[in-house]
Amino acid sequence: MPSSLSRAIDSYPNRFDPGALGALPEHLQETIRRRNEVLGPGYTLIYREPVEFVSGHGAHLVDREGNDYLDAYNNVPCVGHAHPRVVEAVSRQMAAVNTNTRYVQEALVGYAERLLATFPGGLSKVSLACSGSEANDLAMRVARFHTGGEGIIVTRWAYHGLTREVASFSPSLGPGSPLGPNVRLIDPPDPRLVAPGSTLAEHMRLQVRGAIDDLERHGYRLAALVADCAYSSDGIFTDPVGYMQAVVEEVHAAGGLYIADEVQSGFARLGDSMWGFSRHDVLPDIVTMGKPMGNGLPISGVVFRPEVAEEFGRSVRYFNTFAGSSVPVVAAAAVLDVFDEENVQQRVVENGTALRAGLEELTQASPYVAEVRGSGLYIGVEVVKDPETLAPDRARAEDIINDLRDRRVLISGTAKGAHVLKIRPPLAFSSADVARFLEAFAEVAKVRL
């Protein structure tokens, strides 16, 4: 196996190993063989036995045989698979018209107003795009333009997207995708990395300061620090909060911007606030969002402090054909409707708390679980070889993930070591779903933990 092959595969948690194709049920083999024949780069299935779904509702997915799976992994269908409110809005708009932002669209304006109303004052302009990658790409174009700097700081195993620019500051893509010479890495906010006698805020401040110094030593002024407020690919670090003020002070002192990447953490995922940055009581210069925004229709957004985007807007043409067109916008508006009507955020807090408490109880005696982390409905369970060294135990983590999949409960993995269980269900996850999840997890834990 060439080393580049092993490197790319290594970095993908819970991947399906194409070499295991022959062991799958016949009909799956056939579809996957045809798939391999026609699909180009970028297609990885997950689970030792991949799954195909034909319908869904709430946090449930149904396969061809009619089996019901509990979805504890997909963040995109945030208000639930095939939510009737979203289905109805999209179907109605499809039958009317789907035009672009070169024309006046009352619905676009109304949506922008509603979205911005969820932000603190000062963050008052929004541009739409199609994907989180496009949102982060635009955010960085604006940050570079506004600051005149090129330096970028991200966490050690961050993922921010897949355009060439954004991939250059997404270390989790692995060695096949080189980082830019203008990119510096810092630790995620893992309290276990803090030296005795110091604080997380001080630790993070020193790391940022060090990165800025090193950038400047190499001739790069800082453009921006970009941080996923859930540090998803680093292994999910949501708490404690409160260190970001120190970080943002350093960034601003160096003339850089703070870009809050809320593609994962936004839209109430973390429960106690609509946006992850709010938990830290700081004001970003730019906020990006995506995945759950349209409950699956491709739409993403970039929210700005107007000062940082004004000159860019005057100087650079930017027309994103599909972004802000009528259909994705009504989907996104329907998501906000459901947030209101179903009191989604409150449900996330309640069910997230119950889910985390249950997981803590089921894992507290295990020497193989270092931590249960997270907030709201974003939970990481760190699986290690032993509690002293904290060495990642990818094999055990993937056994758990696949044992759960065999019990028709869907999660996956994250972190550089691919050893952190990633539990990130649709926000439609109910208390009954919590109970079913914990029941399945308890069975698996008996064998694996």
Q: Which is nearer to its own copies, 12 or 349 (CB)?
A: 12
Q: Which is nearer to its own copies, 43 or 364 (CB)?
A: 43
Q: Which is nearer to its own copies, 97 or 395 (CB)?
A: 97
Per rule CB under 8 A, count of chain residues that contact its own copies = 109
Q: Which is nearer to its own copies, 155 or 207 (CB)?
A: 155
Binding of its own copies by 314 (CB under 8 A): yes
Strand (E) or helix (H) holding 100: none
Q: Which is nearer to its own copies, 169 or 437 (CB)?
A: 169
Rg (CA), the chain: 22
Find the part of the chain contacting its own copies (CB under 8 A) among 44-52, 190-198, 211-219, 238-246: 44-52
DSSP class of residue 428 equals T
Residues 60 and 428: their CA atoms lie apart, in Å, by 9
Binding of its own copies by 179 (CB under 8 A): no
Q: Specify whether the CB–CB gap between 170 and 158 falls below 8 A.
A: yes
State the minimum distance, in angstroms, from the CB of residue 85 to its own copies.
11
Residue in the block written with tokens 């620019």? 165
Find the part of the chain contacting its own copies (CB under 8 A) among 27-35, 220-228, 372-380, 421-429: 27-35
Out of 21, 32, 390, 442, point to the residue binding its own copies (CB under 8 A): 32
Roughly what angle, to the nearest 10 degrees, separates helices 306-315 and 132-147?
A: 90
238 by Cβ neighbours in 10 Å (0-12 / 13-18 / 19+) ranks as buried
114-143 residues in contact with its own copies (CB under 8 A) are 116, 124-127, 130-134, 137-138, 140-142
Q: Which is nearer to its own copies, 24 or 185 (CB)?
A: 24
Q: Give the three-state DSSP class for 42.
A: coil
263-302 residues in contact with its own copies (CB under 8 A) are 290-291, 296-299, 302
Sheet holding 369-375: strands in order across?
369-375, 378-383, 420-423, 412-414
**Pairs from 399-404 (Cβ < 8 Å, separation ≥ 24):** 399/448, 400/444, 400/445, 400/448, 400/449, 401/14, 401/47, 402/14, 402/47, 402/48, 402/49, 403/444, 403/447, 403/448, 404/440, 404/441, 404/444
Rounded to a whole number, what is the distance in angstroms from the first to the last CA of the chain?
A: 32
Binding of its own copies by 354 (CB under 8 A): no
State the minimum distance, in angstroms, from the CB of residue 327 to its own copies.
7
Residues 289 and 287: their CA atoms lie apart, in Å, by 7
State the minimum distance, in angstroms, from the CB of residue 431 to its own copies.
23
Q: Strand 60-63 and strand 68-71: pairing? A: antiparallel
List the one residue out of 217, 270, 280, 223 whose CA is nearest residue 247.
Answer: 280
State the minimum distance, in angstroms, from the CB of residue 74 to its own copies.
7
State the minimum distance, in angstroms, from the CB of residue 241 to its own copies.
27
C-alpha pair distances (Å), 176 with each of 152, 171, 449: 20, 10, 34
Q: How many CB atoms lie within 10 A of CB 125?
A: 17
Q: Which is nearer to its own copies, 212 or 299 (CB)?
A: 299
The separation between CA 6 and the C-alpha centre of its own chain, rounded to angstroms, equals: 25
Out of 195, 319, 388, 447, point to the residue binding its own copies (CB under 8 A): 319
Out of 19, 22, 26, 43, point to the residue binding its own copies (CB under 8 A): 43
Binding of its own copies by 402 (CB under 8 A): no
Q: Which is nearer to its own copies, 188 or 290 (CB)?
A: 290
State the minimum distance, in angstroms, from the CB of residue 354 to its own copies.
26
State the minimum distance, in angstroms, from the CB of residue 13 to its own copies.
11
Out of 19, 26, 38, 446, point to the residue binding its own copies (CB under 8 A): 38
List the one residue out of 440, 448, 433 whose CA is nearest residue 60.
Answer: 433
Find the part of the chain contacting its own copies (CB under 8 A) among 166-174, 191-199, 387-395, 426-434: 166-174
DSSP class of residue 179 equals P
Q: Which is nearer to its own copies, 2 or 121 (CB)?
A: 2
52-111 residues in contact with its own copies (CB under 8 A) are 52-56, 61-62, 74, 76-77, 81-82, 86-87, 90-91, 94-106, 108-109
Binding of its own copies by 174 (CB under 8 A): yes
